[in-house]
Amino acid sequence: MGEQMGRIRYLVAAVAVGTLLVGCGERVGSGPAAPGSQAIASTAVGTPQVDPIALIGSWTLADVDDATGDILRLASGTDDGLLLFGRCGVQMGTWRADVNGLFVADITGNTVSENARGCGSGAEVVADPWLRRAAAFRVEGDSRVLLDGQGVRVARLLPGARPTPGPNLLPEMAEPPKVTDEVRRALAPATALPEALTPARRDTLLGRWVPADARWFRSKGPYVELRDDGEWRGSDGCNGQGGRWVAGPGGALLATAGVSTLIGCDNVSVGTWLSSASRAGLDGQVLVLFDAAGKETGRLRRDR
């Protein structure tokens, strides 16, 4: 396993990215999401209690600008849970989904095909705009549908795809992903918030937050900023962090985390608090984050 992971790290150029990345609409969307476009995600999210395990598989993309025919492989994992096989090579990233129909994804690295034209160098990650807009999903027969925050269809996922790994990925990374007991536990419904807390809504989550006991100056301290376009940015006190986020009913909160710089310091990993959270509730003015098992991951207060 150590040799395989070393090979992946050697062959896949992991780079930081600035940005990436529910309802009933059937229009095929195009172009970037408008500010506030995920507002519907907090109140009307796809089909209630849809099993996110239904997303695991290798899917051929349809009804999506400039990416029809590409293959999206979704497996349960951290660094390679999402693989996007396209004309320019393979993009690698992470994704999260829940029973409310929420979906969020982030690209963290890529390989570039040597024969592809107009694809840039291996040190660049070209974020597909359709993936950046995806905020929810639903199941339609054998296919899956990704939607933006207004319920507009972003892409249809058709089953049975067989990607080709090429020379830069291990062959097993192109095999159909398996649903194990561990995967089922990882995607199980999150524990409800404690009754004493008020479920956080998307509009109450927007803005800049710092650790509840923070005593740092604003310019240097750890923080997370949840932005209206579905992006979050932050710092642990020395290292820049970021990813994508989406919120839903009952305090549901899902976030991904991209790669980070690795400056050593006495830091506070607020990005990990966020990316490991499944629920968010307010204890007065304090935002409390919980993982899927109901364990508290961190407390934040609004930065004034």
Greater pLDDT, 159 or 170: 159
Would you place residue 236 in the very low, low, confident or very high pLDDT band (cuts 50, 70, 90)? confident
Q: For residue 138, which phi and psi values (nearest 5 degrees)?
A: -150, 160
User: How far lies 72's CA from each of 57, 61, 84, 198, 239, in Å?
Assistant: 8, 7, 5, 37, 30
- Interval 30-39 mean pLDDT: 41
Return the structure tokens found at 264.
Answer: 């050593």
Sign (positive or negative) of CA dihedral 248, 75, 26, 88: positive
Rounded Cα–Cα distance for residues 126 and 110 (Å): 9
Among 20-24, 179-183, 283-287, the range with the most confident prediction by mean pLDDT is: 283-287
DSSP assigned state of 251: G
Q: Please tell me the CATH code under which domain 198-302 is placed.
A: 2.40.128.270
8 Å CB contact between 82 and 103: no
Q: For residue 198, which phi and psi values (nearest 5 degrees)?
A: -95, 120
Q: Which secondary structure element, helix H or strand E, spans residue 232, and what is its range?
A: strand 231-235
- Interval 86-113 mean pLDDT: 87
Parallel/antiparallel/unpaired status of strands 223-226 and 231-235: antiparallel
- Interval 149-155 mean pLDDT: 93
Rounded Cα–Cα distance for residues 190 and 47 (Å): 17
Rounded Cα–Cα distance for residues 53 and 285 (Å): 35
Would you place residue 70 in the very low, low, confident or very high pLDDT band (cuts 50, 70, 90)? very high
- Interval 48-75 mean pLDDT: 91
In the chain, where are the structural domains located? 2-186, 198-302
Is pLDDT at 201 greater than 90 in this prediction? Answer: yes
Do the domains 2-186 and 198-302 sit in the same CATH topology, yes or no? Answer: yes
Please, which contacts does 249-252 make with residues 24 or more away whose CB atoms are closer than 8 Å?
A: 249/42, 249/43, 249/45, 249/100, 249/199, 250/100, 250/192, 250/193, 250/199, 250/279, 251/193, 251/197, 251/199, 251/200, 251/279, 251/280, 251/281, 252/98, 252/100, 252/102, 252/190, 252/278, 252/279
Rounded Cα–Cα distance for residues 136 and 23 (Å): 8
Place of tokens 């600035």: 18
DSSP assigned state of 190: P
pLDDT, averaged across the chain: 80
Rounded Cα–Cα distance for residues 207 and 12 (Å): 34
pLDDT digits (tens, 9 = 90+) for 127-138: 578 998 999 999
**Please, what CATH class does the domain formed by 2-186 belong to?**
mainly beta
